[in-house]
Amino acid sequence: MKSQMSNNIANEVTKEELNELVDGLKQWRIGLASETGPILSRKNFGNESDSTAKYQLKNLQFKRFLQWEKEIIGSINLGWTDDSTVKTAERVDRWFFTRDKGKDGPIQYGELIAIGNGKDPSFLDHKHRPVGIDMGFSSAPVYEWQILGGKLKEPVKAGDHVAIYNTEIKQPLIFFDRNVGGDIGWPTSERWEKQAIDYLSGNIWKIAKAAALAELGVVL
């Protein structure tokens, strides 16, 4: 699919434009840039003092950490730290990733996983909301996420630049400046698409977006 999609856009989108769009979707870094080694699976948040396989989740465009925070107006309780200092990073290393069926070992590119933060309910899932991003929290693991941007089935490593993809809505999670609620969203947002169309002509936007997802490893 990847090569076929690339051939379809060869005469309409330059490689540089496609790379720019792909990089725009690889917005996340799990763990600190100084960390090394694979991102490990964890079944639940567990003991507060046990930091094994708990990570920070930094957005590379906004340059802040995503964290749990109480939202007042009808949105999921997610927001951003005020800075990205080491002290702040230590405070927000509460993200964890669970392999399907609770398997141990490193998280692999492209496999279905659950994403959790903090105590119960921990796990993010796709859920319709009248305001803000369509996500919610679940007490049970919801295996509808993939880490993309590297070679499929290879371990995701701390410090990698990655895309976080939801298989229910079939879109990557991105930073998105909202009028109401936490500033995260999907590329289906009209305002985000307008930004992309600024450098890609509107009549090839859908093809280009599909090609970018194929480059990340999504099976379309």
> What average pLDDT does the segment 91-114 reach?
94
Chain centroid to CA 14: how far?
25
pLDDT value at position 42? 96
Query: What's the average model confidence in pLDDT over 125-150?
Result: 88
Confirm whether 220 is domain-assigned.
Answer: no
* 179 band by pLDDT with thresholds 50, 70 and 90: low
Contacts of 141 (CB under 8 A, 6+ apart): 43, 98, 102, 114, 116, 123
Residue 193: inside a domain, yes or no? no
Q: Tell whether the model's pLDDT for residue 162 goes beyond 50.
A: yes
What end-to-end distance do the CA atoms of the chain give, in Å? 7
Tell me which residue range forms the domain holding 34.
28-185
Task: Please check whether residue 175 lies inside any domain of the structure.
Answer: yes
What's residue 199's pLDDT?
Answer: 53
Spatial distance between the Cα atoms of 176 and 195, rounded to a whole number of angstroms: 11
pLDDT of residue 18: 87
Token pair in block for residue 88:
């702040």
Whether 150 is in a domain gets the answer: yes
**pTM for the predicted model, two decimal places:** 0.87
Q: Enumerate residues 6+ apart whose C-beta is below 8 A from 195.
A: none
Percent of the chain topping pLDDT 70: 81
Mean pLDDT of 160-176: 93
CA neighbor of 29 nearest in space, from 62, 58, 63, 66: 58
The total number of structural domains in the chain stands at 1
In a domain, 36, yes or no: yes
- Average pLDDT on 164-169 reads 95
**CATH no. for residue 161?**
2.80.10.50
In a domain, 192, yes or no: no
